[in-house]
Amino acid sequence: MSFKFLCFSVLLFLAVAVNAQRNGHEIDPQDYQYKHEASGGLRVQTNGVTLYAQYGWIKDIYRTRLLQIDYTYNLSLTDKKLKAKNQNSRDYLFGVQNKFHVIRLSYGFMRNIADKANRNGVRLSFVFFGGFSLGLLKPYYLDFRNNSDVGPQLRHEGYSAANAANFLNNDSIEGASPIRYGLNKMQPVPGLNLRAGLNFDWGTKDAIVKSLEAGVVLDAYYKQLPLLVNNHNRFYQIGFYLSFHLGKRW
């Protein structure tokens, strides 16, 4: 984890360095050709998948202020998926008590580091965001067999202290319950986020936003997130990401 924080610190240092470099730079009038931009895209993270949309106010060719809203479906590379025993059930994640979703509203900036040498070149920029995160904990339901007078039936249960032993017993689990179970018991968990990265814009026309971005994103919450049954839970999440932007400037 220290390596991830080191990468985040390096990107933060670049933001300060780039800002200092651009201060005092003489701006040509042509830099003000475009005043706004809007884009959206997909961000693939080491801890989830994100859909986002953002709006930008272009100050000049070197500086853009950005407002972004996004939604992340949290995924863990360590989740262990097992085959369902019952044909009416889905394959299930072992040891999971809650699924996690995140809605972010972030404000940030983009600083140009290196402009395109020509129309077929790549513009390199540094981006930095900070803002509000709303985490949503959705109880993860599993199917257990309930033998009754009318024959075997499935019961759908979320994790609790009373059935903790069953949640960690493969012999008791029939499979995962339908997604609709637990929707009425979702819990909000507010927090803050920081994100830093490098943006590579290769669009042949400046009016078109077409770029890749790579970096790191950090979310911190006011309490530990009870995602796993074994209590190996943290109050923060950090992950590397790669995203694709597509949009326009005007």
Return the CATH number at 154. Answer: 2.40.160.20
| Residue 28 within any structural domain of the chain | no
Q: How many domains does the chain have?
A: 1
What value does the mean pLDDT take over residues 174-187?
Answer: 93
pLDDT for 22 equals: 45
Question: Can you give the length of the chain in residues?
Answer: 250
Which amino acid is located at 31 in the chain? D
Please report the pLDDT score of residue 76 as a whole number.
Answer: 84
pLDDT at 43: 96
Mean pLDDT throughout 210-238? 93
pLDDT exceeds cutoff 50 at 24: no
Categorize the per-residue pLDDT at 130 as very low, low, confident or very high, splitting at 50, 70 and 90: very high
Q: Is residue 23 part of a domain?
A: no
What is the per-residue pLDDT for 61? 82
Tell me, what's the pLDDT at 165? 87
The band of 7, judged by pLDDT with boundaries at 50, 70 and 90, is low
Q: What is the pLDDT of residue 147?
A: 66
24 found inside a domain: no
Q: Where are the alpha helices (DSSP H) in 23-169?
A: 164-167
Domain-located, residue 194? yes
Domain hosting residue 98, numbered range: 2-16+35-249
**Pick from 158, 133, 114: which is nearest to 21 by CA?**
114
pLDDT at 8 over 70: no
pLDDT at residue number 37: 94
Compute how many other C-beta atoms are within 10 angstroms of the C-beta atom of residue 98: 23
Q: Which of 68-72, 118-122, 128-132, 236-240 has the lowest mean pLDDT?
A: 118-122
Angstrom distance (rounded) from CA 22 to CA 110: 12
Stronger pLDDT, 146 or 35, i.e. the higher one:
35
pLDDT category at 231 given cuts 50, 70, 90 is confident
Q: Tell me the three state secondary structure of residue 205.
A: coil
Domain presence at residue 57:
yes
Lowest mean pLDDT among 12-21, 78-87, 101-110, 149-158: 12-21
**Residue whose structure tokens are 């109050």:** 235
The pLDDT-based confidence of 151 (bands split at 50, 70, 90) is: low
25 within a domain of the structure (yes/no): no
- Would you state the pLDDT for residue 119? 60
pLDDT for the residue 20: 45
The confidence score (pLDDT) of residue 241 equals 96
Give the pLDDT score at 179: 92
Q: Is 133 among the domain residues?
A: yes
Across residues 58-71, what is the average pLDDT? 93
Burial 182-213 (b: 16+ CB within 10 A, else e): beeeeeebebbbbbbbebebebeeeeebbbbb
- The predicted pLDDT at position 128 comes to 97
